[in-house]
């Protein structure tokens, strides 16, 4: 296992210490399309603009939004959906939504990689808040095959599977109960910095998922994929709105949220963003840097620097360390990953050495998405 850890350390030096870095945030030349400006870079300039004025799906104050959700949900078993991963953002969203007197149905997607932390946090929250929960459990064998197809294809966004399914399940549940609002933990304060195009992939790509499955003759039985046309159907025919709820709060501060969750709900924190799933932390903390040369912490930490939640020197120090609390924890995750995927060490070595291939190579609906986006923009001019 030590050789994998050495490999990660080597790679982190290569991608974090040499490339030219923005003078204000942590974004650097590993980000496609970075332009260094007088004040910083295009990524942080843009982020600050968004932060000043977060783009809201519905242009209302918090109070107005809450009243609207209540009114539209009258006589229904719930008035909104809250997607719940067990992470800080989604957990805090659920707490606030409930505090404001809304009647949410919490929706969780289980892809076979939930950590004990996630299970613990979800259980404590829904129990203490008295919120109903719905879990969509994807058949692990099916999910494992889909992941294997993504690994075999050498595409960067393995998490497209989780993210796409989570979107799908939230819309499906909203539709089932005739609800108009999905209040999500997505937010500008900690997530508003746009990810470089080469760091992940477009999340509504049902075609990409289906094509990769087809290549490996995988039958999709329980995986709830969602694509452009489904999105149009849910959003425009059914009127279901995905709302970045935390942007409506006067000020969302991750550390304050964490403290409140720990105090009130026996919430167990974890060291980095999105570490509620064992695979997600292994993907972000190991696979992305080693195979794809991407250290996502640069993006997350940059948002914390720009919102004055962290000092830049401290963030730079963090980047020099492996994205795991200890080497042992990384070793445990590697072993667990090999066991779950039924891989040998050589399979992992081989995978890490192969060059990346673009998602587009396997067929994608991104151009369809962009086409509709253009039309939408023109109509709304």
State the residues that interact with another protein by CB under 8 A: 108, 110, 112-116, 119-120, 122-123, 126-127, 132-135, 137, 139-141, 222, 278, 336, 339-340
The DSSP secondary-structure symbol of 342 reads: T
Give the separation between CA 270 and CA 69, rounded to whole angstroms.
32
Shortest distance, position 169 Cβ to another protein, whole Å: 12
Closer residue to another protein in complex, CB, 105/310: 105
Shortest distance, position 143 Cβ to another protein, whole Å: 9
Closer residue to another protein in complex, CB, 126/167: 126
60 burial via Cβ count (<10 Å: 0-12, 13-18, 19+): middle
Shortest distance, position 333 Cβ to another protein, whole Å: 11
For 281, list phi and psi in degrees, rounded to 5.
-70, -35
Closer residue to another protein in complex, CB, 62/133: 133
Closer residue to another protein in complex, CB, 135/344: 135
Closer residue to another protein in complex, CB, 278/348: 278
Q: How far is CA 87 from the centre of its chain?
A: 10
Shortest distance, position 269 Cβ to another protein, whole Å: 15
Contact residues for 65 (Cβ-Cβ < 8 A; gap 6+): 58, 243, 248
Closer residue to another protein in complex, CB, 106/257: 106
Closer residue to another protein in complex, CB, 6/116: 116
For residue 145, the number of C-alpha atoms closer than 13 Å in the C-beta half-sphere is 17
For 107, list phi and psi in degrees, rounded to 5.
-125, 125
Shortest distance, position 356 Cβ to another protein, whole Å: 28
Residues in the chain: 381
DSSP 252-296: --HHHHHHHHHHHH-PPP-SSTTTTBHHHHHIIIIIHHHHH---T
What residue ranges in the chain does DSSP mark as E strands?
Answer: 80-83, 104-110, 132-137, 181-184, 241-244
**Max intra-chain CA distance, the chain:** 59
Shortest distance, position 279 Cβ to another protein, whole Å: 10
Shortest distance, position 83 Cβ to another protein, whole Å: 13
């Amino acid at each position: 296992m030590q050789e994998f850890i050495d490999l990660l350390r080597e790679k982190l030096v290569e991608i974090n210490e040499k490339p030219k870095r923005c003078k204000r945030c942590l974004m650097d030349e590993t980000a496609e399309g970075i332009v260094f400006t007088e004040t910083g870079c295009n990524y942080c300039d843009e982020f600050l603009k968004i932060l000043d004025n977060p783009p809201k799906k519905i242009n209302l104050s918090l109070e107005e939004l809450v009243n609207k959700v209540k009114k539209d949900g009258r006589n229904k078993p719930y008035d909104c959906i809250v997607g719940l991963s067990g992470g800080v953002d989604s957990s805090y969203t659920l707490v606030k939504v409930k505090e404001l007197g809304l009647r949410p149905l919490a929706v969780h997607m289980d892809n076979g990689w939930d950590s004990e932390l996630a299970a613990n946090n979800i259980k404590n929250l829904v129990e203490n808040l008295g919120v109903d929960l719905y879990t969509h459990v994807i058949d692990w064998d099916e999910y494992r095959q889909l992941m294997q197809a993504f690994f075999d294809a050498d595409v960067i966004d393995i998490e497209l599977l989780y993210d796409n399914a989570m979107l799908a399940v939230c819309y499906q549940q909203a539709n089932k109960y005739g609800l108009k609002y999905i209040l999500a933990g997505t937010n500008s304060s900690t997530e508003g910095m746009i990810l470089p195009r080469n760091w992940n992939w477009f999340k509504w790509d049902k075609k990409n998922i289906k094509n990769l499955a087809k290549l490996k003759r995988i039958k999709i039985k329980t995986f709830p994929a969602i694509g452009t046309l489904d999105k149009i159907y849910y959003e425009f025919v059914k009127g279901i709105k995905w709302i970045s709820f935390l942007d409506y709060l006067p000020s969302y501060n991750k550390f304050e949220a964490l403290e409140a969750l720990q105090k009130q709900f026996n919430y167990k924190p974890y060291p980095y963003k999105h570490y509620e799933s064992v695979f997600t932390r292994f993907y972000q903390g190991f696979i992305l840097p080693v195979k794809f040369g991407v250290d996502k912490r640069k993006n997350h930490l940059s948002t914390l620097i720009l919102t004055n939640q962290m000092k830049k020197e401290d963030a730079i120090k963090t980047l020099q360390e492996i994205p795991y609390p200890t080497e042992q924890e990384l070793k445990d995750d590697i072993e667990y990953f090999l066991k779950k995927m039924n891989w040998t060490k050589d399979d992992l070595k081989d995978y890490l050495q192969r060059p990346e291939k673009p998602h587009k190579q396997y067929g994608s609906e991104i151009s369809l998405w962009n086409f509709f986006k253009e039309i939408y923009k023109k109509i709304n001019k």
